[in-house]
Amino acid sequence: MCGIVGYIGQRKAYPILIKGLQRLEYRGYDSAGVALIDEQQHLNVYKAKGKVADLEAYCEGKDTGGSVGIAHTRWATHGEPSSQNAHPHYSASGRLALIHNGIIENYATLKENLVARGIAFRSVTDSEVLVQLVEYIMVSNGLELYEAVQVALRQVIGAYAIAILDREHPSQIVCARQSSPLVVGLGAEGDFYLASDASPIAEYTDRVVYLNDGDIALLRLGDELHVVNLSGEARHPKVKQIDVTLGQLEKGGYPYFMLKEIFEQPACLRDCMRGRINVDADRITLSAVIDYRDKLVAARRVIIVACGTSWHAGLIGKQLIESLCRIPVEVEYASEFRYRDPVIYPDDVVIAISQSGETADTLAAIEQARSAGAFVFGICNAIGASIPRQTQTGVYIHVGPEIGVASTKAFTGQVTVLCMLALTLANERRTIAGDVYKEMVAELVRIPEKMELALKANEQIERLAPIFTYAHNCLYLGRGYNYPVALEGALKLKEISYIHAEGYPAAEMKHGPIALIDSEMPVFVIATRDKLYDKVVSNIEEVRARGGRVVALVTEGDTQMAKLADHIICLPDTMECFQPLIASIPLQLLAYHIAVCKGKDVDRPRNLAKSVTVE
């Protein structure tokens, strides 16, 4: 949901800002803009509809000098994508320029008041209200920018990460956050970077400050970072070390980040398990479980809250926790949970799953659970994001930055953490026999190796993909642990190829979707060898009887399915509960290759964003 970036220092700001926007483009890419104060103290703002590359093309030949600037890549909420609605927004006099990520809920009232005082607006965004309000307060009260921002934000309701330039004071940037992420990077020469996440900052410095809600910061060249809260009281910024390598932010020879991230999964899962599973591969240690053992072991119920792909991981978590720990689990869309007035007990454990750690609905669900007295456990990828800071404890999935908008390695990382969590709790609760626990831990450790085997299907899937580019609808079927895999496979296809797809529990097909099946309808079935295998075979027969074309994901050595399905993709065998980690791989590859065949921008699918910081 919009990426923001800023720089103030001795270097030319423009290339740093453009590179930063490229790194943040996963957050939104319908328009982009940059504001720079040049040596003559001119405040130049350039904006373009489209991607960052369109902005660069627009800026060619223009004055992009200056060593202070801010830039923005947008995911529209208020006002269509256009250069007018793109950020930065100028104040009425042209003295200030502002970028904003978030939503200002009381913008209409604020705007009405400002319009009544003769201030003319240039865009239809909620964001412009902020810059007009700040300038109005500066002028009418004779305040400096830093002070005026404090006064202005006290009147603002909503979510924001903002940064503002003042032409009259070119050696400073003022920024602030409330419910939208903002990181400040501290350079070695008194220079500052700021961004929605650490990825645009990582190549310049590893010292960062994650601003907290209500923080307003003054980045003044050659000075220390100053932070105050909304009441103007000084806050002591905590400096953290970040650990992101440049390689993690580059494509490393792959045509798209998504493909790179699919192939990274074996290594990522090893990273995820490293230090948590011992070298003998027979014991899992999660520090979060050690620290909060009693709370977790005594949970009367678990409620998982999440959105999108993370919600699918939650459905797998439900089956794992219920079957291994014998604790009832509910899985909720965070967006519904927050408004549903749910029954929450103090001895409930709420697990919030989120790759970005910034999803607004998940954050609101956490808030609700905490205020009802539940214990909240986070499963997150982005280090230092809001969700790990709002939960009592949790586990990072440690799969490295995920840039492709369609989640792949974060999903398998989340499932791996859920496997480790369920096994650990089951062991503590004595709901699993010691030898079964050890066998399962050993198998979990073998999963990355099996994923490598599953990835070998890439070329076969690349050859298959063109057959399905004609499809308007696809059906994904699975049962048990593979049902969420079917949902996730369908979501991947929808997200990046824009083909309508539905995931269904295979047996439910006959209660509706079967009406859709004809020879134009590809049906992807996860039919691995497990206790429901024979039932899935019957479901495939039903599809075949109606002329449907079946692609079956089967366990290596399955000869029966080869006769039944139009195409089979073989997968290495594993325990039923770990099957999602393997079966997801060919479905990710399938979505990827179909989208590539259709000429789609796989990493930046239309209308989507990776970090959804609005409701």
- Choose which of 123, 178, 199, 310 interacts with ligand G6P (CB under 6 A): 310
At its nearest, how many Å lie between ligand G6P and the CB of residue 283?
Answer: 29
Identify the residue among 156, 589, 610, 613 touching ligand G6P (CB under 6 A): 610
306 vs 526 by CB, closer to ligand G6P: 306
Residue from 31, 354, 424, 528 binding ligand G6P (CB under 6 A): 354
Q: How far is the CB of 352 from ligand G6P (least distance, A)?
A: 8
Cis before residue 88, ω within 30 degrees of 0? yes
Which residue number, 123 or 354, has a Cβ lying nearer to ligand G6P?
354
Q: How far apart are CA 137 and CA 141, in angstroms?
A: 6
Closer residue to ligand G6P in complex, CB, 172/354: 354
Question: Binding residues for ligand G6P, how many (CB under 6 A)?
Answer: 14
* Residues in 589-608 at the binding interface with ligand G6P, rule: CB under 6 A: 608
Nearest approach in angstroms of CB 414 to ligand G6P is: 8
Which listed residue (22, 85, 132, 355) binds ligand G6P by CB under 6 A? 355
Q: How far apart are CA 388 and CA 482, in angstroms?
A: 29
**Residue 180 makes contact with ligand G6P by CB under 6 A:** no
Using CB under 6 A as the binding rule, whether residue 335 contacts ligand G6P is answered as: no
Report if residue 22 touches ligand G6P, rule: CB under 6 A: no
For CA atoms 409, 494, 259, 468, give the dihedral sign.
Answer: positive
Alpha helices (runs of H) in 224-343, residue ranges in sequence order: 246-249, 257-263, 265-273, 287-291, 293-297, 308-325, 334-337
Helix axes 579-597, 482-497, angle to 10 degrees: 20
Q: How far is the CB of 304 from ligand G6P (least distance, A)?
A: 12
Stretch that binds ligand G6P, among 68-76, 189-197, 352-360, 592-600 (CB under 6 A): 352-360
Cα-Cα end-to-end distance for the chain: 10
Nearer to ligand G6P, 230 or 383 (CB): 383
Measure the CA–CA gap between 277 and 264, rounded to whole angstroms: 20
Looking at 25-153, list the stretches that DSSP marks H as alpha helix, in order from N- to C-terminal side. Answer: 52-59, 107-116, 128-141, 145-153
Q: How far apart are CA 441 and CA 268, in angstroms?
A: 17
Q: What is the 3-state secondary structure (H, E, C) of 429-493?
A: HCCCCHHHHHHHHHHHHHHHHHHHHHHCCHHHHHHHHHHHCCCCEEEEEECCCHHHHHHHHHHHH
User: Rounded to whole angstroms, how far apart are CA atoms 66 and 44?
Assistant: 10
- Judged by CB under 6 A, which stretch of 180-188, 276-284, 303-311, 552-560 contacts ligand G6P? 303-311
DSSP code string of 489-544: HHHHHHHHH--EEEEEEGGGGGGTGGGG-STT-EEEEEE-SSTTHHHHHHHHHHHH
Question: Catalytic residue among 47, 111, 600, 610, which?
Answer: 610
Structure token digits, residue 611: 């970090």
Which window, 53-61, 155-163, 267-275, 302-310, contacts ligand G6P (CB under 6 A)? 302-310
Complex with ligand G6P: residue 167 or 492, whichever CB lies closer:
492
Residue nearest to ligand G6P (CB): 308
Measured from the CB of residue 224, what is the shortest distance to ligand G6P in angstroms? 33
Rg (CA), the chain: 25
C-beta separation of 245 from 198 below 8 A? no
Of 91 and 356, which has the nearer Cβ to ligand G6P?
Answer: 356
Give 53-60's long-range contacts (Cβ < 8 A, gap of 24+): 55/18, 55/21, 56/18, 59/14, 59/34
Choice from 85, 123, 178, 359 touching ligand G6P (CB under 6 A): 359
Q: Is 531 a catalytic residue?
A: no
Q: Please provide the DSSP assignment of 573-596 as one string.
A: ---GGGHHHHHHHHHHHHHHHHHH
563 classed as catalytic: no
Q: Tell whether residue 391 is a contact of ligand G6P (CB under 6 A).
A: no
Which is closer to ligand G6P, CB of 102 or CB of 308?
Answer: 308
State the minimum distance, in angstroms, from the CB of residue 407 to ligand G6P: 4
Distance of CA 409 to the CA centre of its chain: 11
Give the separation between CA 525 and CA 482, rounded to whole angstroms. 9
Find the part of the chain contacting ligand G6P (CB under 6 A) among 34-42, 115-123, 199-207, 301-309: 301-309
Q: Which residues between 397 and 416 bind ligand G6P (CB under 6 A)?
A: 405, 407
Q: Report the distance separating Cα 264 and Cα 256, nearest Å.
A: 13
Cβ closer to ligand G6P: 160 or 411?
411
Stretch that binds ligand G6P, among 115-123, 227-235, 349-357, 572-580 (CB under 6 A): 349-357
As annotated, the active-site residues are 2, 610
The residues of the shown chain that bind ligand G6P, judged by CB under 6 A, are: 307-310, 354-356, 359, 362, 405, 407, 608, 610, 612
